[in-house]
Amino acid sequence: MQLHHVQLSCAPGGEDAQRRFYCEGLGLAEVGKPAALAGRGGCWFRSGQVEIHIGVEAAFTPAVKAHPALLVDDEQELDRLARRVARLGFDVDHTERTTFAGMLRFHTRDGAGNRVEIMTPARV
């Protein structure tokens, strides 16, 4: 079994903030939604085999604890993404950088305030 995608949400009209975070901040590419789903709003993003689907919810509340954890190749990429996301105005939290055994990480919030974790294996 493999994971196909993670679904997160945003409020109506929140797609541009999500594009800013996922495309400009994390470097994912926006991909088209199937015609049957396009009228529902939202947007989809992909990098390699990772897909994040953003749906629209009228009574939206950001995911505060639940989150996707995206794996990057090395510490340099981890730090580069943290700087880029911060430059775009998104909060970056390094307080738990080494609390996950064998990994380095940071947490951030996407354009809708959903928690997102970025991590990489720690080199010993």
Q: Do the domain assignments include residue 17?
A: yes
Q: Do the domain assignments include residue 92?
A: yes
* CA pair distance 16, 112, nearest whole angstrom: 10
CATH number of 85's domain? 3.10.180.10
Burial annotation 61-91 (CB, 10 A radius, 16+ → b, else e): eebeeebbebebeeeeebbebbeebeeeebe
Q: Do the domain assignments include residue 107?
A: yes
Q: Do the domain assignments include residue 75?
A: yes
pLDDT digits over 27-48, tens only? 999 999 999 998 899 999 999 9
Task: Over range 83-100, report the average pLDDT.
Answer: 96
The partner residues of 92 in beta bridges, in order of sequence, read 108
Q: Do the domain assignments include residue 40?
A: yes
Q: Do the domain assignments include residue 54?
A: yes
pLDDT digits over 106-123, tens only? 999 999 999 999 999 998
What total of structural domains would you count in the chain? 1
Q: Render the chain in DSSP notation, one character per residue.
A: -----EEEEE-TT-HHHHHIIIIIIT-PEEEPPPHHHHTT--EEEEETTEEEEEEE-TT----SS---EEE-SSHHHHHHHHHHHHHTT--EE-TTTT-STTEEEEEEE-TTS-EEEEEEEPP-
The phi and psi torsions of 120 (rounded to 5 degrees) equal -150, 150
Q: Do the domain assignments include residue 44?
A: yes
Q: Do the domain assignments include residue 1?
A: no
pLDDT digits over 62-90, tens only? 999 999 999 999 999 999 999 999 999 99
Domain that holds residue 63: 6-121
